[in-house]
Amino acid sequence: MRTTLATLLCCLMPVVIATAADEPLSPYEWKQRQKVAFEHSERVYADALKRTGLLAQYKAMRDTYRTDKDGAFRIVFGQYLSWYQSFVGDYVGAHDSYSIRQLAASDDAHSPLDGGYTAKPALDEIAELAKGRKAVFFNEAHNVPVTRTLLVELLSKLRAEGYTYFAAETIYASDTELAKRGYPVEKSGFYTMEPIAAEMVRTALHLGFKVVAYESEKEGNGDVREYDQAKNLYERVFKNDPQARLVVNAGYAHIQENGKYLGGRSMAQHFAKLTGIDPLTVEQTMLIEHPAGTENHPYYQKAMESLHPTSPIVFADAAGKPWTLKPKAYDVSVFFPAQVIHDERPTWLTLGGLRTEYSFGGAACQDTFPCLIEARYANEGDDAIPADRLVLDPTGNVENTQDRVIQRHPLTKGSLYLRPGKYRITGQDVRGHALFRQDVTVGSGRPPVAVAQ
């Protein structure tokens, strides 16, 4: 996965550079600073991976990020850190550490609020748009898992509509036991280390989708990777099953249908040429809330102020044609509601009501912090990616919102978000030593409260 990580950073860096425009550097000077920062980030990341356990790796990265004030390093390494913040359930911190601002652009469509369009629940409208299609492609912002939540909710509707295959970026083909096991583990992929991504894959498996790994395993960036991803989708799905119907979850502009991408074509463009299939493309990364200090798209700001949605929305005209921010690139754009934070965690973790809040006291951590709390389904192994994770750390010396961990003082507690059912909740310290293990049942009625002793 090391090559893929470098590729992802390479793909996104030109966008991130714009956030450092206030530095009095020439383009050449900034490029050199960026190169040094990338090399430094790689060393810090490699050193962090030598630690045992996810909590220790995350803490090593967070501590280095706090102490190193170099602007270029913080921009580059903020992406590395944000991935691991999402892995340990610190979703607010993950979005604060790395965010691509979304400015108005010349290729934007007119605002849907200008007339002719009506806001509709994205869950129902996209399910309707997907009817009769051979493929539907969703994109995501990898460190902002709210952009995964809609697809988790949609999978059951898409399966009922007759979709049969599900593919997600960076699932590893080497995990040949994924379907048999029924849940992702550490070796299943990179982004599936994050609980919502894992829930996406787990849900697809439980619904009977055939889950496909399509990430390129060839050396090379840009068009080489895009073509190979598309080729893998064709060969592993439609070549042997022409009647297949496919759901794809990919990152950012991999699903754009027109225009140049990294000097060549996007995965979706290659896919259309190889298969003759025009996928429904659902853009989910541009019309989301950005943290303070960055910029929301002006259409997003006005939509939130005018409509105050509590769930994802799309817009459609009287004929049912969906509105899209980028008419040449995507078929439909999704607006995600502004975040509501409770106990330092976003309430979108309910997944539209599929999960309920489960308050957990930190006494079980035996005054040992930071403490990583993980909730696994009772019928899955200890190797399973948890249904949810959080870090309790009441003694953390947080400098600013970019470095936040979930903390309560003097009472340490946090909230897990879980589907109704039986779970095994465990806690461990930064050395990977077990601190506690509890079996709990989450009901579908009033959310239970666990007081750990």
- Tens digit of each residue's pLDDT (9 = 90 or more) over 33-65: 999 999 999 999 999 999 999 999 999 999 999
The pLDDT of residue 404 is: 42
Please, are residues 372 and 55 in contact by the beta-carbon 8 Å criterion? yes
- Per-residue pLDDT, 13: 42
Q: Which residues, in sequence order, are bridge partners of residue 143?
A: none
**Beta strands at 449-450 and 413-418: parallel, antiparallel or unpaired:** unpaired
> What's residue 396's pLDDT?
59
CA distance 240 to 248: 18
Cα-to-chain-centroid distance, residue 271: 23
Pairwise CA distance, residues 394 & 413, whole Å: 9
What is the domain class of 343-450 according to CATH? Answer: mainly beta
Closest residue by Cα to residue 2 from 62, 68, 55, 49: 49
Name which CATH class applies to 112-333: alpha beta
CB 346 within 8 A of CB 146: yes
Q: DSSP code of 50?
A: T
**What confidence score (pLDDT) does residue 195 get?**
98
Cα 148-206-387 angle, rounded to 5 deg: 50
The Cα-based distances of 300 to 113, 141, 206 in angstroms read 10, 16, 35
Instruction: Give the C-alpha separation, 371 to 362, whole Å.
Output: 8
pTM of the model: 0.91
- pLDDT < 70: residue spans in the chain: 1-23, 293, 395-411, 445-453
